[in-house]
Structure 1
Amino acid sequence: MLHEILLSLSGHPSPLLSSDRSAELLSPPERALLKSLARLSELHGRIRRETEGVAGGHRSVVCRAVAMGIKGEWLGAFQRRVLEVEEGILRGDAEWVGGQEGGGEGKGIVPLTGLVGGFEGWQRRMEWFEKVVGVMMKGSGKGGWCSGAEMVDWLCGEAQTGYADIEEVALSLGRVAEMAWLKQVSGWVLYGRLPGFGREDFFVQNVDGDVEVRVSENGVERAIVDNLQEYELKRGLLPAFVTPSTAASLLFIGKSLNHIRVKSISGSTSPDLALIQTNLRELSTLKFPINSAHFSRVIASIRLWLSRTTLQKLLPTSKVIEVLSLLQEFFLLGRGAFAIALINEADEKLRSRWQRSDNLASEKRDGLGNVVVKEGEVSAVLARTWAAMGSLQGRNDDQDEDELLELARDLVQLNITKSTTQTPSKNAPSTAKIASTPFKNLLFSVPVVLSMHIPSPLDLFLSPSDLQIYSSINAYLLSIRRAHLRLTDLWKITSLRRDHPAPPGPPYGSSRAGRYKVLELRKRGKQRAQVMRSVWATSSAAVFFLGETEAYLQGEVVRGTWTGFKDWLTSETNSQPGSSRRPVEEKDDDKDEEEDEEDIWLQAVKFPTTITPPLPPSPNHTRDPQSLADAHRKYLTSLTTSLLLTTPSFTDPLFHLLQQIDHLVALVHRIHTIWQSLDLEADEGVVDAFSDFQKEEVDIRSQLHVVGTRVKGAIEVLVHVLGEVDGDREGWDDGFTVGEMEGEGEEGRYRPGKVWRVHRLLMKLDFGGWFGGGRVRGADEEGNAGGDEDGFEDL
């Protein structure tokens, strides 16, 4: 019977402990005593089978390591306990065999109570092991499986218990889980390589088709781009002790090592080995369970060491400033000539498409298919824009070649986008969410965005999501500039602004019919001037609003924020966070030999003892690429917020205003064409039998009144929204210059500078009581005060 019980505890099925046979073989007291052993035997066998399944087929390396830890260490300890009990019984130890000391009636008998007491505490452990296996097999994720990070966090939580034995087991398995996870991280941090097995459980993943990579015309960058991988960070696969900043550092380190491997900037292998050896020593200082602060310091130290020894050659500050200056001049409209040329070329393309459609026979027209702009035409518009920019540059022979313009020719593209969202939040967690207002639809009849290919190694700090934010800002600012230009171009139509015909020449001018003709022409011109007076007043108000808004957004916000960010880039810094570094040769001599033997990292890879890493240079005018990326995200967040691009209550009515301005401009051009046709019909006798210009004139005049009212109402709504936005921004200073608030924050980190509040824009938008029941005063050409008939009262 004893052998049957011990074999059953070892994992072999036994009919003695089964419920159906035990009733026949055992008495009720014996069954009650053996019930706990039966439960322990059942748990042991089940856990052994399930851990073998997890260790051999689970998708997570961490879970496999935990399963092997349960099976190898703790189930092995239980098996050794069974052997100890068996050995004690065979030797006749008094602990197990009764009556060995004084002899007597019970001599040689093994009490079941003692046997059951020998396995006290193991049932609670086995039940906890079963719980661990259940978590590994099911997990709590959406995919129905447990990730390594989830297992690490769960074990850390289970260590906080009132049972000393469960705490011991949880800490032991937590150490196994953290070590397995850290070994995966070491491959990424030391070599920039994803794990060969369990890659789907790793927190760094390859990007599958989310980033569009374009090749320049000469094809120079193609080989480099194809060999580099794009990665993204899965925060759900990170343990809780990894902070967001540390996670960003881990992603940066691995991406940087990929760039180093591709570029092969090192002349020999010794510096690389020294760098790996130094980083191994840093990782070997980690203790289990891993402390969040210590882990963050180690990763920050590795990141800064890598940046100072290698990445200074790969990504100098001058190259960073060059590409950021390109983005500021062409995406943020710092170079106004580019914006004007692009708008003019786009309008010219639309006009040519409409004219071509009008010239087709009616049976060949197929709706809007003849006027929809295609991808090739959009690219041609940008090419003509570059040509226009080059012609402006070529007028001054003494001017040096514009290298930034040539770089923009190679990198910047104008593309039709099919996505419905402005800027996805992916890979840009710290960036404020941009409103979904479709400003990109205003330049052409299709959604078009300005984009740029990110050359290597600039993608160390510049991500595709950052470029999408730049594209959104560009569409936003460009749409305002476009509406402003289209309105001001109306004043170039001189015949609409003033038409005072002179008397015809002799002898017809001296006749009665000639004088009558002149009076008719002047009467007609006055009537048209009265029709256009409200249009000019509305257009003047819209021009003033757009001009002041554009001056605030472009001059105060964009220029001020960029100036502060550029000053931070070019400022000299001699101290960076975590810059303190202990070289390899400064290792303490009195360190215990035991710690060296337990160093799992240095045991895995052995290096020559003569290799010593070079000391990092003092960073003058140099920024860590990850610090650049963090500062750049802060810069974009500050920029989009200050531009009110994250405020849908402002962007939506602004988009409505820009649409109505386009409608107003189109109506003005149409009524000008109608009046020219009516003049030809009345003065020259040129009649178009297929058109009814008088009816069209009445219709256009009514539409002008409606659209003018909408424009005025949209301006009123926007001014009201600006007032609400200004009131919501509590805590801002009432007034300050941009330079006073710019600079470095704590430990040299970038702190975005504040710009003037919106109330400065509101002060300029005071229309003299337009929206408070007042009226804009004016005078007609003859000096009469403007009244109802002059069109201003309608506003």
Structure 2
Amino acid sequence: MLHEILLSLSGHPSPILRIDDVSSAYARAGISPAERDLLSSIAHLSDLHIKLLSYVSQVCASHPSMVSRAVATTIELVHLAEFQRKVLEVESTILREDAELVGAYSIVSLTAVVAEFTPWTRRMEWLWEVVQYMLKGGAGGEACTAPQLIGRLRKELQSGYVDIEETARSLVRSAEMAWLKQASAWILYGRLPTLEAEGFFIRTTDGENESKEYILEPSLLPSFVLPSTAASMLFIGKSLNHPRVRATLESGARGRDHVSAQLRELSRLTFPLESPSFSKAINSIRLSLSRNTLQDLLPLERVVEILQLFRDYFLLAKGEFAMTLTQEADEKSRNRWRRADNLAYEQRDGLSNVAVKQGEVTRVLARTWVAMGSMQGLHSEEDEGIELARDLLRLHLTKSKPATPLVLGSAMSRPSANTLATTPFRNLLFSVPVVLTLSEIPSPLDMFLSNSDLQIYTVINSYLLSIRRAHIRLTDLWKMTSLRRHYPAPPGPPLGSTRAGREQVVLLRNRHAYRSSVMRSAWVTCSAAAFFFAETEAYMQSEVVAGLWDDFNSWLAKGDTAASTASTPKTSARGARLASSKPDTPGSGADDEDIWLDESPTSEQPGAHQPAEPHATPAPRDPESLSTAHRTYLRSLSRHLLLTQTPFTEALYSLLVSVDHLVATVHRLHSTWSSMDLETDAGVLDAFSDLEADEKDIIPALRGLEESVRCSIGEVIESLRELELNSSFAAELEGDGDLDDDGAAFGGDGYVPRRIGGINRLLMKLDFGGWIGQREDAFADS
């Protein structure tokens, strides 16, 4: 029987220990009840061993995760092999007739044999739970992912049992070592796994122009990887896959010399991996890559140049661009409708005559550049920013939602990104979705900017341009002279003194009095809307956009100063040139000035104590720090512009649409009255229109639109008041809401946006005109 017991423990089923087998009843007939109780524990252990051998082989052969396969291999080659050695050790002890197991007359105590294997029961049961979790521990009963398995094993380190803790520690080491090998291929060579691409924390997406973009999946990261560390790993791999960086590495110039040092940095890590040590190693690799490879590819002046382009044209620092673009777009829309009206009825083809096409949108932008060039007048110096904008900026017809969704790891958290992606303001410029974007992100600036960052700029541009456009269209109403005052003026003497002249004077005065009474409430409503847009635009541009840009630009200037100071000991002539330049001006250094220059060796030693210097400057920043700071800037800008607040954006969009309808109705009424004047004064008749009927239809519609605009203004102000009382939104503006729904944090490597005016400042200005949306009697017809 001992032979059967040892064989069954080695993984061979035995009829003596199988309870469900009919033939085992005869084999167990001569066994006493006490012996059966002892054999039941041996049978349980044997069954666990057999199942582990079978399922571990299945995991090693077919599991989609390399980490799970590594853990299964460790279970098979280490722990099950150790159990097999234990079986052989017991067998050897019995054969040697050792007194530990063999008593007098060569009698082997079954109790002693069972006691040798009792400590293995809890260990084998735990291993069986781990194998089951690898096969069915994921979502929907599927195979678990690498982060799920690593998290489960790290949690088991706190089980309280020494044997379980030691076993879990060995499995954690195997799992994290396998994961680190995958991550090392990405952070050292920029390679993605080919056999396990779906389970890796870096994914690729096909962006516009068939460009490949790498995105981060926080759900596929182990718990010891901090969000800032994950962002650094994403940046390192993206940089290594950049064409110019790859060409530099393959050419041998500043190539793979630093890889050995990085491998030594990773080899010094201990398992289980701890967040501080792992973050330190990744940060060291990032800085090494920046100093050895990236220092000549992306000077700070290029970064400042592209950011100034975004500030001028996407954030509307150049007001003439927004004004000219709005006027050209409106003129294009009016011309299309005018041509459609002039066609004979049988030649019209429905709405295809007024549908906007990409070529027309492109021509609108081209005419905008021509108009802006003519505005320069006799200036001798040509604006280089306009030339750069003319080369890079494009107006594109797009879908109602962006083709490439905003992703995590960009400037926004998931709820905020979804809110930005669905904002409808791009529909207002041409009545179809049109966005201002770049033709392409020029190299090597694509190491600093991503397509998601560009999409956020396009959303903000559509938002700000819609408000500016509504304000311009409202103020343009006052340019229609005949609606504001007597035009043409009544005839004066001597014609006005005649009988016919007096009749003409009375006719014109009565006409003006009637039309003034009709337009009085419309002018009040337009004035209220213009006041609202003027104050809202002043708040957003002067306090939010300008305030955050000045803060971020000064942060960039400090980095430029740090780079200049760090380069001083290397070249005395260059240091003299930099000393004579203005340190507060971004990009004011020499043309070959870089932002990643050699740092002091002592500054990299974590334990070195540096004496305080009166003129010490911060270390030069690497591209990943600049990119992260830029994402923080975009996140803060979107929040302070209230783009992430759906109730406000919906109410504002409804107001903008109502204002468009109101302006169009006023223009239609003006056109109708002008035609009636021609018919009355000059006898010019239009046989295809009934002007009196049109007037009767337009005036009630105008009253309804006035009411709609007033109600929409009230809804927008009410949503602002609700936001002012919203504690969670106030916490976001204060920087307390820097975590997204996956726990990813945002921060800018030393850059923290300064506090700027809140909603209460905007409400204080709007409350100055408290009659807006409050006193309906102020809008009543006199």
Say whether the 8 Å CA contact 1:768–1:774 is kept in structure 2.
no
Q: 2:514 maps to what in 1? A: 527
> Structure 2: how far apart are the matches of 1:636 and 1:664?
34
Decide whether aligned partners of structure 1 residues 455 and 681 sit closer, same or farther in structure 2, where only a CA change above 3 A counts: same
Q: Cα offset for 1:792?
A: 5.8
2:411–2:634 contact (8 Å) kept in structure 1: no
> Residue deviations 1:583-629, cap 9 Å, x none?
9x9999xxxxxxxxxxxxxxxxxxxxxxxxxxxxx997842222112
- State the 1:769 CA deviation: 5.1
Rounded to whole Å, the distance in 1 between the matches of 2:274 and 2:729 is 37
Q: Per the alignment, in what secondary structure is the counterpart of residue 231 of structure 1? A: strand
Which deviates more, 248-257 or 502-511?
502-511
Gaps of 5+ in 1: 100-106, 215-224, 589-617, 734-744, 776-787
Matched, 1:703 2:665: no
Count residues in correspondence: 715
Secondary structure at the aligned position of 1:449 is classed as strand
In structure 1, C-alpha distance between the alignment counterparts of 2:721 and 2:265, rounded to whole Å = 54
| One-letter code aligned to 1:484 | H
Residues 37-95 of structure 1 deviation map (CA, whole Å, 9 limit, x = unaligned): 22222221221111111111111111111110011011111111111122222222222
| Paired AA for residue 451 in structure 1 | T
768 and 156 in structure 1: CA distance in 2 versus 1, 3 angstrom threshold: closer
Q: Which amino acid aligns with 1:405?
A: I
Query: How big is the shift at 1:506?
Result: 9.2
Q: In structure 2, give the amino acid aligned to 1:410.
A: D
Give the deviation of 1:425 after TM superposition: 4.8
Select which of 132, 135, 144 maps to 1:134: 132
Contact 1:426-1:465 at 8 Å conserved across structures: no
- Give the conservation status (yes or no) of the 8 Å contact 2:520–2:781: no
Q: Tell me, in whole angstroms, the C-alpha distance in 2 between the residues paired with 1:668 and 1:625.
A: 52
Equivalent pairs: percent with the same residue? 53
- CA RMSD between the two structures: 3.2
Deviations 1:666-706 (A, max 9, x none): 11111111112212222232332332111211221222222
Work out the CA distance in 1 between the residues paired with 2:645 and 2:181: 45
Cα distance, 1:547–1:13 mapped onto 2, change above 3 Å: same
Pair 1:352-2:335 in alignment: yes
Q: Distance in 2 between matches of 1:502 and 1:174?
A: 92
**Which 10-residue stretch deviates more, 263-272 or 369-378?**
263-272
**Whole-Å separation in 1 of the counterparts to 2:165 and 2:154:** 10
Question: What are structure 2's unaligned runs of at least 5 residues?
Answer: 567-594, 608-615, 732-745
Is contact 2:240-2:246 (8 Å) kept? no
Corresponding position: 1:544 with 2:531:
yes
- Work out the CA distance in 1 between the residues paired with 2:139 and 2:774: 61
Question: Does structure 2 conserve the Cα–Cα contact (< 8 Å) formed by 1:308 and 1:619?
Answer: no
**Partner of residue 393, structure 2:** 412
Corresponding position: 1:28 with 2:10: no
Residue of structure 1 aligned with 2:162, choices 154, 161, 164: 164
State how 1:145-224 maps to structure 2 within 5 Å: 145-207=143-205, 209=206, 211-213=207-209
| 2:674 matches 1:676 | yes
Aligned to 2:714: 716
1:728 shift after superposition: 4.5
Using the alignment, how far apart are the partners of 2:627 and 2:636 within structure 1? 14
In 1, the alpha carbon distance for the partners of 2:523 and 2:535 equals 18
The answer on 1:440 being equivalent to 2:426 is yes
Contact 2:204 2:214 in 1 (8 A): yes
1:172 to 1:117, Cα distance in 2 relative to 1, 3 A: same
Please name the residue that 1:38 is paired with. 43
Q: Give the TM-score normalised by the residue count of structure 2.
A: 0.85
Query: When the two structures are superposed, what TM-score results if normalisation uses the length of structure 1?
Result: 0.83
Q: What is the alpha-carbon distance in structure 2 between the residues aligned to residue 624 and residue 587 of structure 1?
A: 19
Aligned to 1:368: 351
8 Å Cα contact 2:437-2:454 kept in structure 1: yes
Change (3 A) 1:263 1:338: farther
Equivalent residue, structure 2, for 1:598: none
Could you tell me which residue of structure 1 aligns to residue 8 of structure 2? Answer: 8
* 1:121 maps to which of 119, 133, 136: 119
Give how far 1:385 is off: 2.2
How far 1:424 moved relative to its partner?
A: 3.5
2:443 corresponds in structure 1 to 456
Counterpart Cα distance in 2 of 1:702 and 1:670? 13
Aligned to 1:487, which of 456, 474, 492?
A: 474
The residue type paired with residue 406 of structure 2 is P
Deviation at 1:244, TM superposition (A): 0.8
Distance 1:31 1:285, change over 3 A: same
Q: Distance in 1 between matches of 2:293 and 2:275?
A: 27
- Residues of 2 paired with 1:111 and 1:262: CA distance? 71
Q: Which amino acid aligns with 1:420?
A: K
The 2-side partners of 1:92 and 1:235 are apart by: 59
The CA distance in 1 between the partners of 2:600 and 2:269, in whole Å, is 16
Paired amino acid for 1:22? S
CA-CA distance at 1:457 after TM superposition: 2.5
- What displacement does 1:140 show? 2.1
Q: Could you report, residue by residue, the CA deviation over 1:416-440 in whole angstroms, capped at 9, with x for unpaired residues?
A: 2224379735443645454644111
Per mean C-alpha deviation after superposition, the further-off stretch among 419-428 and 451-460 is: 419-428
Cα distance in 2, alignment partners of residues 95 and 732 from structure 1: 73
Which segment is superposed worse, 423-432 or 481-490?
423-432
Q: Write the letter of the residue equivalent to 1:533.
A: R
What are the superposed Cα offsets for residues 305-345 of structure 1, whole Å, 9 maximum, x if unpaired? Answer: 22233222122211111111111111101111211121112
1:246 Cα deviation after fit: 0.9
Using the alignment, how far apart are the partners of 2:189 and 2:455 within structure 1? Answer: 30
Secondary structure in structure 2 of the residue aligned to 1:265: helix
Cα separation, partners in 2 of 1:178 and 1:470, compared to 1, 3 Å: same
Q: 1:317–1:621: 8 Å Cα contact kept in structure 2? A: no
Deviations 1:516-537 (A, max 9, x none): 2232122212222222222222
* Shift, 1:405, TM fit: 2.2
Query: Would you say the 8 A contact 1:501–1:518 is kept in 2?
Result: no
Q: Name the counterpart of 1:399.
A: 381
The 3 A distance-change label for structure 1 pair 360 and 167 is same
Q: Give the direction of change, closer, same or farther, for the CA distance of 1:261–1:15 in structure 2 (3 Å limit).
A: farther
How far apart, CA to CA, are the structure 2 residues paired with 1:365 and 1:131?
74
Corresponding residue SS for 1:83: helix
Task: Please name the residue that 2:410 is paired with.
Answer: 428
